[in-house]
Amino acid sequence: MKIAVISGDGIGPEVTKQALKVLDAVSKKYNFSYEVEEVLMGGTAIDKTGIPLPEETVNVCLNSDAVLLGAVGGVKWDTLPGHLRPEAGLLGLRKALGVFANLRPAILFPQLKSASTLKEEVLGDGLDIMVIRELIGGAYFGEKKRIETEEGTKAWDTMMYSAHEIERISHVAFKAAMKRKNKLTLVDKANVLESSRLWREIVFKIAKEYPEVDLSTMYVDNAAMQLIRNPRQFDLILTENLFGDILSDEASMLTGSLGMLPSASLGEGKRGLYEPIHGSAPDIAGQDKANPVAAILSVAMMLRYSFDMEEAANSIEVAVSKVLDEGYRTLDIHEIETKIVGTEMMGDLIAERI
């Protein structure tokens, strides 16, 4: 097992360190070995090489079985032109790896119910939603341009999708639905956008191959509202890149903290890119305050999706749950009567419980 590791910027390095600590504990318990190669991307890559995604990084990642990423970005690099920003490195890497399907689970740990901003009665006995976001198409990657005209400056980004791009992610979504509750909601803006109308056409065509799955559609504005009104009506959401970016942040907050949620980005093969959904949080970087759980759970997703090690993946999720049961919390999720621990300590506690 060859794993490329990009610690990245801000809190990236400290949460990634904890994730690797837990991976080490799991490898001892389940008796497997792996190789780690650290590579640069984002702000740290800009500082050392002048560009956010060095070619060597792409090559190492392409030659690995999985890529584990911390976070990239920070105020220091915010004034650079778009193609030189840390985020451009992340988008370039996703594209280079061909990871078109981004799986973002929003699971509410029952121990954290009161950390959610939603009322307990709305949350019922728990939440388990998955957003499948198309990751390498749409407005993020369509033609973008800025021009000077007589009427002033104009700029545009093009939201474009091909039938093929929609087909391949539809299969991922229907297969995922069959492993869950056979329920899939396609979120789009088909009342306005032509690209959304193509999504509907293709997704309904592919749906015929999966008659077990109950497919419905919802406009994105309504979905944003329904997610806070009655999140329990959703099981699996399929949507395009930009809508998925927005809705997955919203879905994550239902669970109480951005700091708890991992993600997996997959392409045609088994190779995946695994990253917490939170950002680089430069305001708390280097202070032992960050929640490493999202990074740690990203390792669980890596074991599950790239290495087919379901039991090892479960052991991480169980260890996280145990530590929460025992009342340990990082600052972002702490409440009265819980014990506040730092990043490092949280990593130790979880690793010890593997």
Using the minimum distance from each CB to ligand IPM, give the nearer residue, 90 or 303. Answer: 90
Q: Does 87 bind ligand IPM (CB under 6 A)?
A: yes
90: nearest Cα among 202, 179, 175, 12:
12
Catalytic pick among 21, 161, 210, 245: 245
3-state DSSP percent of the chain in helix, strand and coil, to 5? 50, 20, 30
Catalytically annotated residue among 128, 157, 235, 249 = 249
Question: Which residue is catalytic, options 78, 221, 283, 308?
Answer: 221
**Residue nearest to ligand IPM according to CB distances in the complex:** 87
User: Binding-site residue total for ligand IPM (CB under 6 A)?
Assistant: 4
Instruction: List, in order, residues 6 or more apart from 284 with CB less than 8 Å away.
Output: 11, 290
- Is residue 189 flagged as an active site residue? yes
Task: Give the span between the Cα atoms of 323 and 59, in whole angstroms.
Answer: 37
Q: What are phi and psi of 85, to 5 degrees?
A: -75, 155
Residue 90 binds what, of Mg ion, ligand IPM, none (CB under 5 to 8 Å, by partner type)? ligand IPM
The first and second tokens of residue 239, run together, are 């949507």
Regarding 9 and contact with ligand IPM (CB under 6 A), the answer is no
348 is catalytic: no
Give the Cβ contact number of residue 253 at 10 Å.
16
Rounded CA separation 75/67 (Å): 25
Q: Is 235 a catalytic residue?
A: no
Q: Which of residues 228-257 bind Mg ion (CB under 5 A)?
A: 245
221 is catalytic: yes
**Interface pick for ligand IPM out of 40, 67, 69, 90 (rule CB under 6 A):** 90
**Per-residue binder mask for ligand IPM (CB under 6 A), 236-275, x = binder:** ---------x------------------------------
CA distance 251 to 73: 22
* Interface positions with ligand IPM (CB under 6 A): 73, 87, 90, 245
* Interface positions with Mg ion (CB under 5 A): 245
